[in-house]
Structure 1
Amino acid sequence: MRSIGVACFGFALSLSGGAATAGFEHPMEFYEATNGGNCVTCVWIAAEGIIDLDTAERFRAFLRSNDLDEARGLNIHFNSPGGSLIGGVLLGMAIREQQANTTVSAAHVDDVYDSGLRKVTYDPQIQAECSSACVFAFAGGVSRFASKTTPGAAIGFQDVGRLGVHQFYDSLGLADPSAPAFNAEDRITDQKIISILIGFLSEMDVSAELLQLASRTDPRDMHYLTEEELQTTRVDNRMVRDVFITGYPNGVGITEIRYARRNAEYRLEVYCSSGDMHMLATIDWRGTYDVPSHREWKLYDGVSLKDAGALELVSEDFDRRIDGGVTGKLRFRFADPLSDLIHRKRFAFEDWSSRYANNAASAMSFTLPENFDGLHLLHRTCM
């Protein structure tokens, strides 16, 4: 990651990721915001304004001055039209260093507490967006909440805004496209920039297809990513990838949901046993996973379904894989009646015992496709 940052500074002065307008005339500022609730995600870091080359350093200074040097698991809510392309990359790197999460939202500040914390309320007139260079800052999030189907509990019950991309450009060339502003050296610089961006996106686990989508859009216009594009590019890394039904000779049917997060692969097997809905969650964590801390924090012990009942953690087992990673198998039983659960499309899990527990529970959340009705088979295939 360090090599990317060093290389970025060599090209930072002439390239822009987006026009610094869209209602903002000030450099990006950071502040702690709250909706006034007592949920784990009801306090977040708001990031609003235009991104420049110094934004990443201002972000780090903000964390230090607010005793937030350990921002792991905190959500950063963007509302920005973009600005400096390289500034966006550097901010994305700083966010990943802190292991923070990202989303897009906007709200009206109606009070400021003595501590500096700002009380905000939802304003439907404010359209939040994270566009152009901001998308690269957004990519730094460990968990990236960009889909309209994001569980409210994961992002402080805010509405998710939109993410926009277009071609990056030289401001001189955009002002006068016919001017002889480009030579062979400029083209080499462009290629180096693209190489840096591809490397950065790869480290953030975002598909290079994002750059292809951006390259198709004139810098004077903006393409806002669709739900499908958010998934295929992994800009939103919390969406369901595969859902299917598996039938067994003994008549048992299982609905299987597969998806990937930044640091793990998830396979959730939902089935009926003794009249209740159960779920076997197989989680393949990449790299090291701290099982002793998992047990100390009692992760997954207090999981509940948003707007519904609790999940009982029936059992959990951990195995060390040959690649050094850890696979966990966690078996849950839903407290709610099967007859209620089979009608749900959205399964948003939460655990208010701690920020870490809520992040772990929220990572299991999923939304079934609208045309999928496989859960209705469970009561007929009960073990």
Structure 2
Amino acid sequence: MGLIFFLLTVMLGLPCVATAKDMTFEIVYMNHTNVVVADGDITAKTPEAFQAFLDTSPFDGFRFVVALNSGGGSLVGGMRLGQMIRESGLDTTVEAYPPDATTGKPGYATRPGQCYSACAIAFLGGVRRAKPEEAKLGFHQFSSAGGSFEVRESVYMTEAVAQLMGATVLGYILKMGGEPELFTRLSETLPHEMWKPRTDDLTGLKIITRETFQDFEFEPYGQGVISYAQSAENVAGRSVVGQITAYCKAGVPYVLLSALKLEHGTDARTRTLIAEEQNGYVISAEGRGKPAKYGPGAVNVRMSEGLPLAELQLDARGVDLVTRGPVLIRVDFPAAVGAIFALRTTPSQRDLAALSAAFRLCFR
């Protein structure tokens, strides 16, 4: 894709006309998540500036999020920036970090950001992508003139550039995990207009990543069924749970937390520490009563080298919470161990039916 970007840069007459404020990059150090503040307009030189930032800035946190706040700019620059974000394993969000009055650097206070046009394209590069409720995210059609309107291109060259750019943008969207319809929607929005995705568009077109477990499947297990769901997006930083499985064993309800890949799991030493330090687990559901809390005896940390991490024993209260709506499940052990066994569910009615079926034999 690098050669295609180079050709498009030449053919589109980039760099574009100078913008009001070229994008800059600063780090705001948090607790376990450090923020890369990306503020300003995207130009053809923005990827170079980002690479220089990556080469010189200290990265000493567990997770990094690129907070984008930009009105847009160069489409090619946006795609290159997004590709670099993905290759660096960074997440993206749409937030602004106003400068601190004392230092002039981005402070800890935040406000909803805006990310339009080329910025929205760069946003797709995040491994995990989130848009705060009040933040603004918008897409529109690209221009084959690429912002270099003084160039009198032939009709043939304009059409050639448009077709090459269209194929490149579609390929980029698919590579970043978006749905093909996203390309259709932005292509239908004229360059002077802006399409701002609704909540269902954000999730349905995979503009933002789903960080909860849903779409539960089920299959036969003994005389009953098991129900399970996967979420690769839940595996990031110290969070290692990629699958949850619900089942009934010897009349007792359980949920099993598992990794998706061996390299995403925990080593034998870490599992030993977790088994020794864990203090039970909690199932909580906001707005549906008190959480269900369980002691260490309800947690069985799997000590094999396989994918399972921990088997959690439930009771009627826990089953009721899990099968009636969204929940947060978290095993309690010190953060210093270096892993997190936690997940959230946002089940549909079909998912709730699948989970209920998995526990049916427990309560005959």
1:215 shift after superposition: 0.6
Equivalence map 1:220-369=2 (5 Å):
220-238=192-210, 240=213, 242-243=215-216, 250=223, 252=224, 254-261=226-233, 266-271=242-247, 278-285=254-261, 290=263, 294-295=267-268, 301=274, 312=299, 314-315=301-302, 317-318=304-305, 328-333=307-312, 337-338=317-318, 339-347=320-328, 353=335, 357-358=339-340, 361=341, 364-369=343-348
The counterpart of 2:26, out of the listed 21, 31, 45, is: 31
- Contact kept in structure 1, 2:140 and 2:194, CA below 8 Å: yes
- When structure 1 is superposed on structure 2, of 47-56 and 253-262 the one drifting more is 253-262
State how far apart, in whole Å, the 1-side matches of 2:208 and 2:86 are: 15
* Other-structure match for 1:194: 166
Deviation of the 1:81 alpha carbon: 2.2
Is residue 245–residue 256 contact of structure 1 (8 Å, CA) maintained in 2? yes
When structure 1 is superposed on structure 2, of 258-267 and 328-337 the one drifting more is: 258-267
Residue 28 of structure 1: how far off its partner (Å): 1.7
Residue 111 of structure 1, CA deviation: 6.1
Distance 1:174 1:275, change over 3 A: farther
**Aligned partners of 1:242 and 1:259 also within 8 Å:** no
Quote the residue 1:9 is aligned against. Answer: 9
C-alpha separation in 1, matches of 2:171 and 2:76: 13
SS in 2 for 1:92: helix
What residue identity is the alignment partner of 2:47? A
Distance 1:15 1:242 in 2: 45
Q: Does 1:216 align with 2:188?
A: yes
Question: Max radius of gyration: which structure?
Answer: 2
Q: 1:335 to 1:244 in 2, by over 3 A?
A: closer
* Residue from 125, 136, 152 that aligns with 2:121: 136
Q: Please tell me the residue identity of whatever aligns with 1:234.
A: K
Give the AA of the match of 1:31.
E
SS class of match (1:197): helix
Amino acid at match of 2:311: F
In the TM superposition, what is the alpha-carbon distance from 1:86 to its structure 2 partner? 0.5
Judge which range, 6-15 or 43-52, deviates more. 6-15
Following superposition, the deviation at residue 255 of structure 1 comes to 4.1
For structure 2, list consecutive stretches of 5 or more residues without a partner in the other structure: 285-290
Q: Distance in 2 between matches of 1:83 and 1:295?
A: 49
Aligned to 1:155: none
Secondary structure of the structure 1 residue equivalent to 2:92: strand
TM-score normalised per structure 2: 0.71
Identity of aligned residues (%): 23
Aligned partner of 1:169 in structure 2 is: 143
Q: Which runs of 5+ in 1 are unaligned?
A: 147-157, 320-327
Q: Please give the TM-score of this superposition, normalised by the length of structure 1.
A: 0.68
Q: Letter of the 2:54 partner, please give it.
A: L
SS in 2 for 1:382: helix
For 2:281 and 2:133, the matched residues in 1 are separated by 22
Q: Where does residue 107 of structure 2 map in the other structure?
A: 118
Q: Does the Cα contact within 8 Å between 2:270 and 2:337 map onto a contact in 1?
A: no
CA 174–11 in structure 1, closer or farther in 2 if over 3 Å, else same: closer
Task: Check conservation: 1:95, 1:141, Cα contact below 8 A.
Answer: yes
Aligned residues: 338
Task: Name the structure where helix makes up a greater proportion of residues.
Answer: 2
Q: Shift of the alpha carbon at 1:103?
A: 1.9
Contact 1:312 1:333 in 2 (8 A): yes
